[in-house]
Each structure stands twice: as C-alpha cells, then as structure tokens.
Amino acid sequence: MEGAIVSLSFFTVIFGICYLYFSTRHKERIALIEKGVDASIFLTPKSPRTKSSAVWKILILNIAMICIGVGFGIIFGSMLDKYTILGDPSYAASVFLTTGIGLLVGFYLTKNMDKE
C-alpha cells in the first residue's frame, strides 16, 4: 500500500509542476500579446546553430556519461567486492567515483563542443 501512495504522490507532484509551468507560460504569453508585443518572439529558429540544439546535445552527452559511469562503477565495485576485503561499501564508492569521473569527462567534452 505504501508503494502505491509513493507512486501516486510522485506522479501528482510531476503533474503539478508541469501544470504550473504551462499555465504560467500561457498567462505570460497572453499578457505580452495584450501589450502588443510581436508574437514572433515565441517561435524558436530552426537553424542548426541555435542554443536550444546545443542544450539538448549537452544534456544527452551528460546523461550518457552518467550512465557509463554508473555501469563502470557497478563493474568496478563488483570486482572490488570479490577480490578485496572492502565489502559492500565498495559498490557505492566506486559508483560515485566513476560517475564523477564521467561527469568530468562530459564537462571537458562539452567545453570542446562549445569551441567548435
């Protein structure tokens, strides 16, 4: 029963956040249109050099580096658990370590993407 309450609460919070975001955005746009602002500010350019495409590339790159870091961390933690006396804490430590390394690599890859 507790799992159902947690799941219901989680989806309610997500719905609430989305509702507030879209209703606030709508009210803001309506207010700008009533003031006579050109509606073209709501349209995003479709050119390949826009900031929005760079944001998605950076987000996907960082998520991929996190997943790779977690995967390597689990493998590394399993090896540490099996071949050393460190035990179970080695899983958490190696996952955090390799995820941090993955994010650091993602940061440098992102920095190189911005130069291009």
Distance spanning both ends of the chain, measured CA to CA: 53
Please state, in angstroms and rounded to a whole number, the distance separating the CA atoms of residues 19 and 100: 33
pLDDT at 6: 87
pLDDT at 44: 61
- Segment 56-95, tens digit of pLDDT: 788 888 899 899 999 999 998 888 888 888 877 888 889 8
- Segment 6-44, tens digit of pLDDT: 889 999 999 999 999 999 988 988 888 888 877 677 766
pLDDT at 49: 52
Q: What is the pTM of this model?
A: 0.52
